Structure 1
Amino acid sequence: MHNSLLCAREKLMVQILKDTVRTQILSAARERFAKVGFKKATMGDIASEAGVATGTIYKYFKNKNRLFGAIITDSLVDAYLRLTQNRIASFARKDGPLSPDNKTQVASGELLQFYVDNRLEIIIILSRAQGTKYESFAREYVQSMESQSIRQAQKQFPEMTLSPTFHFMVKNILEESVRFLVSALETFTEAESIMKALSAMTAYQLAGINALIDWAHKDGKENDRI
């Protein structure tokens, strides 16, 4: 009985040690991928940062792609897309300017918390994923947001002229938003600072989007000639 308990305890300690080492490796890889990108990050650098031998990493992950996949999971990416889509869908403008209501605030709050909880992962998939299956994610992400935004504008304002200029502006606003997002997440690490920076970005975006909608309500052809 005593020997059985001792054996079980030893197995538990070994498992805890394995889990601890795995967590150290993932943490180091996450930091390294976010800093230099997947392509430039080496297993040796990750091992050094994790405080383990390079060979130890291969006991947990077959190669760098497997290690990347343990950090940037499909479920994480799916959750990010869903939260972004919910936030875009939550905005509505009828008689007055586009402004956040309760539904928008909930959607924005969920997305902000996601950014705080997954700061490095977002940096990686939006700007450091070259060489992985997500290397075109940022471009596809902007295209997805652009399509949803255009569909929503057409639904809310069927009388509004959605000219080529309007499409151009929406695309560039979204591309700039992604660049700002990455920069903010690289600059700020504390939750409060991240939320303040991204809240400021939202206020800036709303002002620009409202101005663009007002512009598009005017004669599109006349504006395109300016």
Structure 2
Amino acid sequence: MSGCMRYRRKDIQEYLAQQYVLGHLSSRVKRRVEVLIKHDQAFEKVVYKWQAHLATLMHSVADEKPPKRVWKALERQSGRTSAPFNGLASLWRYAGVMSFVMLCAVSLLLLQQLQKPVVSHQNMPGYLAVMSTPEKPQTTAFVLTAYQGEKPGQSVLKLQWEQTQSEQARARFNPDELRLWSIERDTGNRSEIGRLSSLTADNVLTKEAWLKIKNSAELQISLGGEIVYQGPCLQLTKWQES
């Protein structure tokens, strides 16, 4: 298969767009993708779609304010360096202030991480599936994101509806009646993961459920044996150029 035809494959376009938005591509592959964006409107739409999905994920994380002691320490350090700029000595003082600021920022991040529970949806997502109906494959209904825990049995699965989806569309199906399935990447075998309502609740994923998601090329959701949602399952890691 030629290079151009290979990049027209939907699964490859989805993967490239996701990695491009995440900033995981090498400089050479990034330039190649940007050329494709300019000359392929369909691929450009895929990139815009992933930008919207990942922006939604970023906005779902609440902002954290630094403790007052951090601001007071910055004010004290700033007062000590209020003298006019004087050659190399002032440059070193400026570097010291910036180092202190960076130290405070890193300390704040570490403090936030220590205060988080072991199982948290704010962990980095490991796998993501953009789900749509068979009738409207180009219209995203919601996103399923699997967050890997620190240990087996501590991972979680979150469902996030697309903002354009109406309340009527969201209430179309009862989650208790929906079953989640995985299509195995290497064999194409279809395997049931479990009831959607249980998987996306605050309960953690079992090790077996996590492995099925990890090894899947596609996730499907069924109602009474009929597929009502489906979407490619992508790993959110760097793409290693061959």
- Scaled to the shorter chain, the TM-score interval is under 0.3
Q: Normalised by the size of structure 2, how large is the TM-score? A: 0.21
Q: Answer 1 or 2: higher relative contact order, Cα 8 Å, separation at least 6.
A: 1
TM-score by length of 1: 0.22
Higher strand share: 2
